[in-house]
Chain A
């Protein structure tokens, strides 16, 4: 059974930093791309970042320079480091297993981690 479990969310002051983790099981982690997708309160889904199985990284313009996605294939864990947090970064952050070759979509998702940026 495929499982993705996010952790590391919480309340952070504007300008602060946070690292989210996503522990996965049930598939060969190193063989798949992974992504972070977020949802601000009352808003829709927004893709944030993706990393290929080999470590190539991609970012939405809205987070470029502040977010760093990474993975540890030995620990089956995906990360995102978020710096210079802003109020608009508040929301639920989902990690998602990403099929990215002849197709491109997210086939399994975690339950999400809540990040609140507020003073």
Chain B
């Protein structure tokens, strides 16, 4: 079973700064099966990136995803006030057929 690790656990930044979030897998993950979500308290999680680098519908272009194999990155080029939230990576494995989330990175206001 693939385990996802996210770093850092917390990222304290100011609006306008660049955020770089890491997601590392214990085994190689197909890029097709790597996604990123944003989650704010009391709200539904929101899909940001699928297929490691494809932005979901309506997601601003300041969000970008990259990576392959075991190392993936979510970058927010310039933080807006509404971007302070928890971010999760997620992967799907064919054997066993399960979905797995990373523990999350909290991006908070410095």
Residues of chain A with a CB closer than 8 A to B45's CB: 37, 45, 94, 96, 106, 109
Q: How would you classify the secondary structure of chain B's contact residues: helix, strand, loop or mixed? A: strand
A55 within 8 A of B: no
Contacting pair B44 A45 (CB below 8 A): no
Residue of A nearest to B46 (CB): A109
B97 within 8 A of A: yes
CA distance A110 to B99 in the complex (A): 18
Chain A stretch 85-119: residues in CB contact (< 8 A) with chain B: 94, 96, 99-100, 102-112
Q: How would you classify the secondary structure of chain A's contact residues: helix, strand, loop or mixed? A: strand
Classify chain A: how many residues form its interface, as a range: 20 to 34
A44-B88 in contact given A107-B47, A109-B45, A111-B43 (Cβ < 8 Å): yes
Contacting pair A44 B101 (CB below 8 A): yes
Residues of chain A with a CB closer than 8 A to B47's CB: 105-108
A27 within 8 A of B: no
Option from B35, B44, B99, B101 in Cβ contact (under 8 Å) with A111: B44
Contact digits for B6-41, partner A, Cβ 8 Å, 1 yes 0 no:
000000000000000000000000001101010100
B67 within 8 A of A: no
A103-B104 in contact given A35-B99, A50-B99, A94-B45 (Cβ < 8 Å): no
Residues of chain A with a CB closer than 8 A to B86's CB: 44
Contact digits for A34-61, partner B, Cβ 8 Å, 1 yes 0 no:
0101000000111100100000001010
A/B interface sample: 22 pairs, CB < 8 A: A44-B86, A44-B102, A45-B37, A45-B39, A45-B104, A47-B98, A47-B100, A47-B101, A50-B99, A58-B97, A94-B45, A102-B32, A103-B35, A103-B50, A104-B32, A104-B99, A105-B33, A105-B50, A107-B50, A108-B47, A109-B45, A110-B44
Which 3 residue pairs of A and B lie closest in terms of their CB atoms, listed nearest first? Answer: A104-B92, A105-B35, A47-B99
A positions within 8 Å CB-CB of B: 35, 37, 44-47, 50, 58, 60, 94, 96, 99-100, 102-112
